[in-house]
Structure 1
């Protein structure tokens, strides 16, 4: 059994729950994001639910070998959230889970709590602490990274979803021997959440983009030059949209919608992928809806993405590949400052079963 310590963490402390926390807990757990990502939280959530949590759930966690703490303001003692360590699994590892009230967010308190609880667990002889976050819960993923947890991979169908079914999760781990340095994404956030030159606007893909994205990827001209030249099924499209935030926070890739800045209408898609920091290189790929062609939208989008990349990352080279006959794409790249670099023989899979050449382009920093 773990000791019921009070754990200091700067502006907060981790302490035992009190019945007087019930009112704050009931307000905090009515938050839509908590309801969305923690399906065990009743919805609607009232004071009786909070009292049952404090007087029944929390004592059971302790009695079963776990640890359950309130995150409280160090000066006032007011409840700010919950954090706990599950009973150690068969491999001797513990798993952290947490939630933070809406009014306590944006100040790094969840990161402080997760770091403090992990280090307390290590002081109790635990050699490994794990953390699992829904792939769509980017805020929780950022907490894990800032608290020194390293991303270890995707766990398919690992988390239950409210209303039924299971979703994918991101697994993080931290060892007692790890330095615990914050893990930072290679990709910075977009300034203000988007990039725009007043004509086009780039913003991270969301689930709301799934329909127009899927429709675009099935257009004959887009399909003709897709790799592979096959329309995605809807599950692939939904997965791409759900994974966008996780890919971004992990520094793996950036997936963005291209929109008409004046109307907000979905016009296309652009991505930064195959990011290799040691080489200082990444690849740009893009597609544009039929109704937006001939207006310079994609040239503007490629320029915006390239300038953001060279400003916010250490990348030195951006590359792009096109079919030798895709003259429209050639003109986009030329106008966006790319130059032809190489012709790679028999690289691209074709719908006819024959592999086709790939004309590769490059744009350098500066």
Structure 2
């Protein structure tokens, strides 16, 4: 059993929840985004739900071998959130879960609480502490990373989704022997959330882009140059848009929409992928909707992406590949400062079952 301690962590204190927290808890749990990403919470969440959690739920967690704390302001004692340690599983591993009031976010409160609880659990003799976060719950993933937990992979359909179905969950963990240093993505976020040159704007893909992306990718002169050269399943497009944020945080890839800066209309897609930090190399790929061709949009998009990559990351080489017959894509790369570097024979599969030579291009830092 875990001891019923109070944990002090700088500007916050982790203490037992009290009945005086109930109104604040109910107000925080009424947040629609909290309800969407934490499907175990009742919704709508009422004052009675909060009181039931304080008087019954918290006690049950402690009795089962876990722990639950209110995250409170150290100065005034006000409730800011909750953090729970689930009872150890059959492997002796503890899992931590947490949520924060909307008005307490962005101040490092949750990461301080997770770090403090993790180290407290280690002090009780645990060897491993885990965190699971919905692939769409980027704030929770950032908290885990800031608290020194390492991303270990994705567990498919491992969590419930409100309204039915299952969500993929990103697994993080910290071992007792780990140094606990904050984990930082190789790919920082876009400044202000987007890149723009006044005519073109790049933004991370979102689920709102599914229909537009699918329409673009279904055009024959788009998908014939994809690998494989076929129209993607809609489910694959949904997954691409759903996973954009977690791929970005993991440093695996950056998926962006290309938009008309004047209207906000979806014009195309550009990505940074195949990132190899030891080599300082990454590959770019792109597609443009036929309605926006002939206006220089993709050249501008490639320039925006390359400029950001060299300013925000240690990358030294950006490479791209084009089918030998795809002269339009080759012109884009030439105008964006790429030079032809090599020809890889018969690398790319074609729609008719033959294979295209792949012309390789490179743009170096500086």
Q: TM-score, normalised by structure 1?
A: 0.99
1:11 paired with 2:11, answer yes
CA distance in 2, matches of 1:3, 1:335: 65
- Identify unmatched segments of 5+ residues in structure 2: none
CA distance in 2, matches of 1:153, 1:267: 32
Map residues 1-366 of structure 1 onto 2, 5 A cutoff. 1-366=1-366
Q: Secondary structure, in 3 states, of the residue corresponding to 1:360?
A: strand
Q: Secondary structure, in 3 states, of the residue corresponding to 2:126?
A: coil
- Identify unmatched segments of 5+ residues in structure 1: none
> Cα offset for 1:224?
1.4
Map Cα deviations across residues 141-195 of structure 1 (whole Å, 9 max, x no partner): 0000010000000100011000000010100010000000000000011110000
CA distance in 2, matches of 1:219, 1:355: 20
CA distance in 2, matches of 1:353, 1:61: 59
Q: Secondary structure, in 3 states, of the residue corresponding to 2:319?
A: strand
CA distance in 1, matches of 2:50, 2:114: 22
> Cα offset for 1:355?
2.4
> Cα offset for 1:230?
1.0
Q: Secondary structure, in 3 states, of the residue corresponding to 1:159?
A: strand
Range with bigger deviation, 218-227 or 115-124: 218-227
CA distance in 1, matches of 2:102, 2:52: 21
Map Cα deviations across residues 252-303 of structure 1 (whole Å, 9 max, x no partner): 1000000000000000000000000100000000000000000000000000
CA distance in 2, matches of 1:355, 1:156: 34
Aligned length: 366
Q: Secondary structure, in 3 states, of the residue corresponding to 1:185?
A: coil
Map Cα deviations across residues 290-337 of structure 1 (whole Å, 9 max, x no partner): 000000000000000000000000000000000011110011000000
CA distance in 1, matches of 2:14, 2:234: 44
> Cα offset for 1:226?
1.0
> Cα offset for 1:45?
1.0
Q: TM-score, normalised by structure 2?
A: 0.99
CA distance in 2, matches of 1:327, 1:354: 18
CA distance in 1, matches of 2:189, 2:244: 13
Q: Secondary structure, in 3 states, of the residue corresponding to 2:310?
A: helix
Q: Secondary structure, in 3 states, of the residue corresponding to 1:278?
A: helix
Q: Secondary structure, in 3 states, of the residue corresponding to 2:167?
A: strand
CA distance in 1, matches of 2:68, 2:249: 28
Q: Secondary structure, in 3 states, of the residue corresponding to 1:82?
A: strand
CA distance in 2, matches of 1:102, 1:136: 17
CA distance in 2, matches of 1:223, 1:255: 17
